[in-house]
Structure 1
Amino acid sequence: MSFFIRKRNKNSAPTKTKSRSSKTSVPGNSQKINTSKLVGSEDEEILSDSDVELGDDVNKRKLADVTSSEDDEETAQEKRLRLAKKYLSQLEEETELGDDDVTGGTVSDRLKEAILEQSGKLRKSVASTYQPPSTDHIRICNGHKLSVTCAVITPDDKFVFTGSKDCTIIKWSVSDGKRLHVIPRLPKETADKNLGHSSHILCLAITTDNKLLASGDKNKLILLWNPSNCQLLHTFTGHRDAISGLSFRRGTHQLFSASLDRSVKIWNADEMAYVETLFGHQDVITGIDSLTRERAVTSGGRDGSIRIWKVIEESQLVFHGHSGSIDCVSLIDEEHFVSGADDNSLAIWSVMKKKPITLVPSAHSGKPDGQKDSENWISSIATLVHTDFLASGSKDGSVRFWECSNNFKNLSQLFSVPVPGFINCLKFSSNGNFLIAAVGQEHRMGRWWHLKQAKNCLYIIRLNKSSG
């Protein structure tokens, strides 16, 4: 049974779709994935496509930006060789220029890192180098009138965009915390023309090339903006309930959207077109994330499941382990991810196992004033991708920083930073130098609790690294 439904809008531009295969290549074995077997015993291992032939995959994904005219008679092998040579030439030029941002000083180091990243095996141990920040390193940015629900950082780490229940989007400068631009709430007289947001903004996403900013609201709309001048580019419609999560696949303009209507939709932002719909969750979807591969991971709230949607194979992997509603999920790399639930637990997962590798039952423990652990559900998670460093947020008045060690089998708290209020969103900068927190007096998905002592604001937390 396929969980994928494709549909093209009559007025949409034609969408280029690649041929899809229902088979996954595993060294020495090629078999069709049967989604009906995904709900077996918890100890059952799941076949992963992390071991696919890297030659084809790396050339398709890592060399996608190195394009040129192709001779009609060029074979697939000749094309791969030509693109590989151009990629090597580009790496050599960067190395000769002495780019400080290049990780690994040689071309071979870059190639090894690219392969490890694509296979999901690139892991950097950096968590132990971080030290608790001082109060001087915490900047509070005020500007929203209601709870800040979501935030994203531009790829160059210079700007931050925040969305709020006040229906506005604000662009901030990271260096001084100043407001640079405000996208206002759409006036009521034009609210039916889909030209802006007139209801709570619940999620944001930005492309890795900084060309597109996507925002989703409670009114079932997805809007695309130009991050540079904050001009509206396009509006996507199609979901039947509020948009709860957005994620651009890295290096592309392919957009995944999650909704309270229990579905995930895929959009082609280059052609401004709808691609397909993915079904499977039995309750509202509360979070979504993606990396380089053509797949997404979602948390299904009270259906108690996390699902990885493998788009090419038209299949999904289902994971169970939390005892409560799973409210947020974030990828660590292509093979591991972390989730948080309203039972105050954090869990680390592998795509090869249906149950958590490790689970911390009381991640945000109660405060001396009598708060119960059950009140401090995990509302947000951030991971520094391809590292052992992550952060979690709740309503207990702090952001907590964690280290994944012993091959993801241990999760230990390093330190915490005081942040009063509902921490609705957390994001690390790409270089790991700072963390942002979207904070509000209310939870982003509802108004059942109001913390008067909190501020509706953005926190920019500078992180300290030891010299060693």
Structure 2
Amino acid sequence: TPQEKKLRLAKQYLEELRQYEEERAADEEEEETQLVDLIGDRLKEDVLEQKGRLQRFVAKDVQPPDPASIRVLRGHQLPVTCLVISPDDKFIFSASKDGSLIKCKWEVESGKRLCMVPGGKKGSEERHLGHASHILCMAISSDGKYLATGDRNKLIMIWDAATCKRLHIFTGHRDAVSGLSFRKNTHQLYSASHDRSVKVWNVAENAYMETLFGHQDIITGLDSLSRDCCVTAGGRDGTVRLWKIPEESQLVFCGHQGSIDCIQLINEEHMVSGADDGSIALWGLTKKKPLALARQAHGMREAQGLQEPYWISAVAALRNSDLLATGSHSASVKLWKCGEGFRKLEPLWDIPL
């Protein structure tokens, strides 16, 4: 019965949790009496995470990296457009605008290039392993099994992350694929495109599921976590949207003045976005307006005798924490602290690159 299945899965989860905490306690030589407390704390964290209320306070302890410790990995011939790190933190996958080095797999510890898939000429995708146009986005499944890449030529390619072997090509978008994200702990893939649509795919079964419409301009970014929904940035339509997949409905959020170019979920209830007006915004999924907004986040520059803000080209969040990072063509990455309740943004460090 469904109840028996739920009970079996709950027991299995508790046993896995007990083994994990036992190993961790052994490594840290903690007392046996603390094990129950550790499991209890972990369960409380899992509940808060599901409700979108978990916020680990780590920002206060963050220090900028030593410039000498920053390593540069070279190999692409043209600008790198996207990258992902494997869930076990051992490998980096990167993609580029170039036609010769489309996908590289790097070892994090050594910086050694492990695998390279060259690109081909347009129209040769069926015969040739790689993409034949700029790769714009990339995602890896939470079990590290599948890698997805999307290109300017409307294609989504699915790869075996371990071998770099191409498994499938999804077609269906009518313009460049600009965003990809796997739903956490599943092989369900969300894709966003300049054709203004969001599509849902089942990668394990090589199946198309559905298409959702609503944005009035190209979609510039997409993200998802474990719920059956995703969030998108709508470029110059000035909106961020939450897509509820089963209900085929959407919530619309407004707050930036310019084109919204990047977005990421912080937890199940909060997200951060960046725009070309130089602002970054913190959102709660129950409020239509930003909880916090930082204008001119990367400062101002002079262009043709006029002062204009550096636009925000990338945002990142340490999931379920109070730490954010933003990128811009100001040649630096900025780290930010979210105030309690995500109602304040405080700059921490400016890291020159």
| Same fold, judged at TM 0.5 (above) | yes
Contact 2:310 2:330 in 1 (8 A): yes
Equivalent positions of 1:33-72 (< 5 A) are none
Tell me how far 1:396 sits from its aligned partner: 0.8
Show the counterpart of 2:81: 149
2:153 to 207, 215, 219: 219
Q: Deviations over 1:417-442 (max 9, x none)?
A: 112xxxxxxxxxxxxxxxxxxxxxxx
User: Match of 2:105, SS?
Assistant: strand
Show the counterpart of 1:89: 15
Alignment partners' CA distance in 1, 2:125 and 2:209: 26
Show the counterpart of 1:256: 190
Alignment partners' CA distance in 2, 1:403 and 1:260: 32
Show the counterpart of 1:166: 98
Question: Structure 1 residues 194 and 373 mapped into 2: Cα distance closer, same or farther (>3 Å)?
Answer: farther
Question: Structure 1 residues 396 and 98 mapped into 2: Cα distance closer, same or farther (>3 Å)?
Answer: closer
2:50 to 107, 118, 121: 118
Contact 1:194 1:235 in 2 (8 A): no
Tell me how far 1:132 sits from its aligned partner: 1.5
* CA-based RMSD: 2.1
Alignment partners' CA distance in 1, 2:235 and 2:303: 29
Contact 1:336 1:351 in 2 (8 A): yes
Q: Deviations over 1:116-160 (max 9, x none)?
A: 111111110000101121111211111111111000000111110
**More relative contact order, 1 or 2 (CA 8 Å, 6+ apart):** 1
User: Match of 1:204, SS?
Assistant: strand
User: Match of 1:92, SS?
Assistant: helix
Question: Structure 1 residues 272 and 279 mapped into 2: Cα distance closer, same or farther (>3 Å)?
Answer: same
Show the counterpart of 1:210: 144
Question: Structure 1 residues 194 and 286 mapped into 2: Cα distance closer, same or farther (>3 Å)?
Answer: farther
Q: Confirm or deny that 1:403 pairs with 2:329.
A: no
Show the counterpart of 1:200: 134
Alignment partners' CA distance in 1, 2:36 and 2:107: 30
Tell me how far 1:187 sits from its aligned partner: 4.5
Q: Confirm or deny that 1:138 pairs with 2:70.
A: yes
Show the counterpart of 1:31: none
Alignment partners' CA distance in 1, 2:306 and 2:90: 38
Tell me how far 1:98 sits from its aligned partner: 3.3
Q: Deviations over 1:378-426 (max 9, x none)?
A: 110010000000100110111111000132111011011112xxxxxxx
Show the counterpart of 1:299: 233
Q: Confirm or deny that 1:341 pairs with 2:275.
A: yes
Q: Confirm or deny that 1:275 pairs with 2:209.
A: yes
Kindly tell me the number of residue pairs found equivalent between the two proteins. 344
User: Match of 2:73, SS?
Assistant: strand
Alignment partners' CA distance in 2, 1:161 and 1:85: 36
Contact 1:364 1:396 in 2 (8 A): yes
Tell me how far 1:91 sits from its aligned partner: 2.1
Identity of counterpart residues, as a percentage?
55
Alignment partners' CA distance in 2, 1:260 and 1:121: 33
Question: Structure 1 residues 372 and 131 mapped into 2: Cα distance closer, same or farther (>3 Å)?
Answer: farther
Q: Confirm or deny that 1:175 pairs with 2:109.
A: yes
Tell me how far 1:110 sits from its aligned partner: 1.9
1:357 to 291, 295, 298: 291
Alignment partners' CA distance in 1, 2:37 and 2:234: 42
Show the counterpart of 2:31: none
Alignment partners' CA distance in 1, 2:84 and 2:47: 27
User: Match of 2:60, SS?
Assistant: helix
- Kindly provide the amino acid, as one letter, of the partner of residue 346 in structure 1: I
Q: Where in structure 2 are there 5+ consecutive unaligned residues?
A: 29-34
Show the counterpart of 1:234: 168
Q: Deviations over 1:282-303 (max 9, x none)?
A: 1000000001111100000000
1:374 to 302, 308, 314: 308
Contact 2:292 2:345 in 1 (8 A): yes
Q: Where in structure 1 are there 5+ consecutive unaligned residues?
A: 1-73, 420-468
Alignment partners' CA distance in 1, 2:307 and 2:126: 43
Tell me how far 1:109 sits from its aligned partner: 1.7
Show the counterpart of 1:319: 253
- Kindly provide the amino acid, as one letter, of the partner of residue 258 in structure 1: A
2:319 to 385, 409, 419: 385
Give the TM-score normalised by structure 1. Answer: 0.70
User: Match of 2:312, SS?
Assistant: coil
Show the counterpart of 1:129: 61
Tell me how far 1:166 sits from its aligned partner: 0.3
Contact 1:344 1:373 in 2 (8 A): no
Give the TM-score normalised by structure 2. Answer: 0.92
